[in-house]
Amino acid sequence: GMPAPGPAAFAAMAGDPAAMPQVHGAAATAVASMVPAAGSSSPPAGGGGDLTLDAIERAAIAATLAQFNGNISHAAKTLGISRAALYRKLGKHGI
């Protein structure tokens, strides 16, 4: 699983823009693991060949939820969407 959010995550939730890159780290790592290395024609290990917008969205949502231990309000705020929109996306992706 993902580690619990650290001080940077809480600073970002409090509105500290300098902390935002660390909060998005988990989502960026999840998406980066899906993208083949430059010059590589094969998908990354772990089945990353399904690089669709839906797959990227699902990975970002799952990573953000894990970062905030399933807290919908914090995850939605970090993703820049409403809680209702996040619930719709959770249903869409079966998360």
Any idea where the domains of the chain sit in the sequence?
7-38+49-93
Q: Which residues of the chain have pLDDT under 70?
A: 1-50
pLDDT tens, position by position, 31-45: 666 666 556 555 555
Task: Look at the pTM and tell me if it is higher than 0.85.
Answer: no
Measured CA to CA, the distance from residue 6 to residue 87 in angstroms comes to 25
Question: Backbone phi, then psi, for 33, in 5-degree steps?
Answer: -70, -15
